[in-house]
Structure formats: C-alpha cells, structure tokens
Amino acid sequence: MPSIHSTAIISSEAAIAPDVTVGAYAIIGPQVSIGSGTVIGPHTRIEGPCEIGERNQFYGHISVGGPPQDLKYKGEKTAITIGNDNIFREFVTLNRGTAGGGGMTTIASNNFFMAYSHVAHDCHVGSDTVFANNATLAGHVEVGDFSTIGALSAVHQFCRVGEHAFIGGATIATMDVLPYVKTVGSRPAKTYGINTIGLERKGFSGETIEALQRAYRILIRSKLRLQDALDRIESELTLYPEARYFAEFVRASQRGIIR
C-alpha cells in the first residue's frame, strides 16, 4: 500500500506505483508518473509532463519538472524524464526542456545530487554522476557517466562534460570539460592532469590510466596543432577505447575545450 501523508496533494491524472511514499505537503501534478519504491519527501513539488523511474529518493523541498527558466518559453508542452536509483537532496531544482532545445531534459540512473544543485532545461545527465552542493548546469548541457561536478561550480550553456571528468569546487566551465581529467578554476578554468586517484578507485587498470596520461600529454603538453595531436593519439593509442573516446570527445567539441 502507498504511504501518502494526509496533507499531500496529488492530481487524479498522476500515475503513482502502489508502494510510493509521499511526504507532508508534497504536490504532484497531472501528467506525472512515479515508479515503484520511490520516496517523495515533504514539501516537494513535481510538475508534468514528468516520468520518474523506480527507487528514487527526493528528500524534500525539491522542485521537479518546473517550466524552463528561459524567456523564450511560451508554455509549450515539454518534459523531463528521470531513471532509477537517484538521490536528490534538499532544494534541488530540475527543469523541463524547451521546444527549441528538443523539448526534453533527461537524467539517467544512480546519480547523487547534493543540496541546492540545479539542472536546467534541455540538459542530459548520464548515470553514476555526483553533483556537489550548489553545482549548477545552464541549459543544453550534456554530462557524461561517472563525472563529478564540485560544489559551487557552474557549467555554461551548450557545454559538454566528458565521462569520468572531475570538476573541482567553484569552477566556472565555459567550454567543454575533458573526460578523465581534473578541471579546476574560475575564468579561466584549467586542467590539472588525469584524475588518476579517481580512476583507480573506479577500477581502471594501470595500463589504461597510463594510456590516458599519454593522451593528455599529447593534447595539452606537446605543443602540436590540435588536429595533429588528435591524429597522434588515435594512431599511437588506438588499442585503448578510453583514449579513442578522449580524442573523439575533443573532435566533436563545438565550443572548444578547457586546457
């Protein structure tokens, strides 16, 4: 049986799994679906269209599916989807997409959002990420799997954060953030090598980490032209899929990369 507090307000047009817990003064609007085992904490507001998977935890005072904070938004029908096993701490804000940005904000699974972190419209967040307190994404940002965004950090609109990236606290990222790399600082942010300790903790082999270190040195330290550096990485480190992804990430950049 569901555990729904008497003060909660739930739309008759919402679809809630039988074992969902809803806390005091929570508001769940129409066109919202919530999967099994999810806990909605007190004073949380969820607006639709919004699809939430299973076993998510919303601790309280959280805004999910609010309209995009974009002056071009005129009430178009847009949505947000959230996967499974995510943790959202107090005062997190997650906005729906915009028509001009594809109409959808997506958050995958196994993510940890600390208090006051923010995901803006049309962002796409992968799985197994960590957003520390007040970590903020502007609109249209892509965040790769296993990345960490430090406290009080902000990522500029249309930027990408690569897989296993580590963004240090109070960083302002106005260009793409390299995968596997430690990026720290404010205007300008800078890279500080491969996140060796973090990758070791995640089970990366010494050989793979060494290959990524070589790729980083070729890209950042060799003084080669960008195209020549990428060609060299792909030529010398072709056996390592992580190194190939590293080079492909740079090639696909529209805003440039933080070095």
The reply to whether 122 and 9 lie within a common domain is yes
Long-range contacts formed by 111-115: CB under 8 A, 24+ apart:
111/86, 111/87, 112/86, 112/87, 113/86, 113/87, 113/88, 113/89, 114/89, 114/151, 115/89, 115/90, 115/91
Q: At what angle do helices 206-216 and 226-236 cross, to 10 degrees?
A: 160
Predicted local distance difference test score (pLDDT) of residue 114: 98
Specify the amino acid at residue 14.
A
Other CB atoms within a 10 A radius of the CB of residue 93 amount to 17
pLDDT digits (tens, 9 = 90+) for 124-144: 999 999 999 999 999 999 999
Per the CB < 8 A criterion, the answer to whether 163 and 126 are in contact is yes
pLDDT digits (tens, 9 = 90+) for 205-240: 999 999 999 999 999 999 999 999 999 999 999 999
The reply to whether 120 and 19 lie within a common domain is yes
Active site residues: 121-122, 139
pLDDT digits (tens, 9 = 90+) for 23-58: 999 999 999 999 999 999 999 999 999 999 999 999
Is 246 part of a structural domain of the chain?
Answer: yes
Is 179 part of a structural domain of the chain?
Answer: no
> Is the predicted pLDDT of residue 1 greater than 80, yes or no?
no
The reply to whether 134 and 226 lie within a common domain is no
pLDDT digits (tens, 9 = 90+) for 59-83: 999 999 999 999 999 999 999 999 9
Per the CB < 8 A criterion, the answer to whether 40 and 28 are in contact is yes
> Is the predicted pLDDT of residue 192 greater than 70, yes or no?
yes
Domain stops at, among 140, 173, 206: 140
The reply to whether 15 and 130 lie within a common domain is yes
Nearest to 9 by CA among 24, 22, 21, 27: 27
Is 202 part of a structural domain of the chain?
Answer: yes
Per the CB < 8 A criterion, the answer to whether 193 and 213 are in contact is yes
Split into its structural domains, the chain has a count of 2
Q: Supply the mean pLDDT for the chain.
A: 97
Predicted local distance difference test score (pLDDT) of residue 2: 65
pLDDT digits (tens, 9 = 90+) for 146-177: 999 999 999 999 999 999 999 999 999 999 99
The reply to whether 127 and 214 lie within a common domain is no
The reply to whether 118 and 220 lie within a common domain is no
The reply to whether 97 and 23 lie within a common domain is yes
Beta strand 142-143 pairing with 160-161: parallel
Query: 218: domain CATH number?
Result: 1.20.1180.10
Predicted local distance difference test score (pLDDT) of residue 243: 98
Query: 72: domain CATH number?
Result: 2.160.10.10
> Is the predicted pLDDT of residue 187 greater than 90, yes or no?
no
Is 150 part of a structural domain of the chain?
Answer: no
Average pLDDT over residues 104-119: 98
Residue span of the structural domain in which 28 resides? 3-140
pTM for this predicted structure = 0.96
Domain stops at, among 140, 157, 188: 140
The reply to whether 227 and 116 lie within a common domain is no
> Is the predicted pLDDT of residue 10 greater than 80, yes or no?
yes
The first and second tokens of residue 66, run together, are 């609010």
The reply to whether 9 and 136 lie within a common domain is yes
Is 41 part of a structural domain of the chain?
Answer: yes
The reply to whether 202 and 126 lie within a common domain is no
Average pLDDT over residues 82-88: 99
Per the CB < 8 A criterion, the answer to whether 153 and 130 are in contact is no
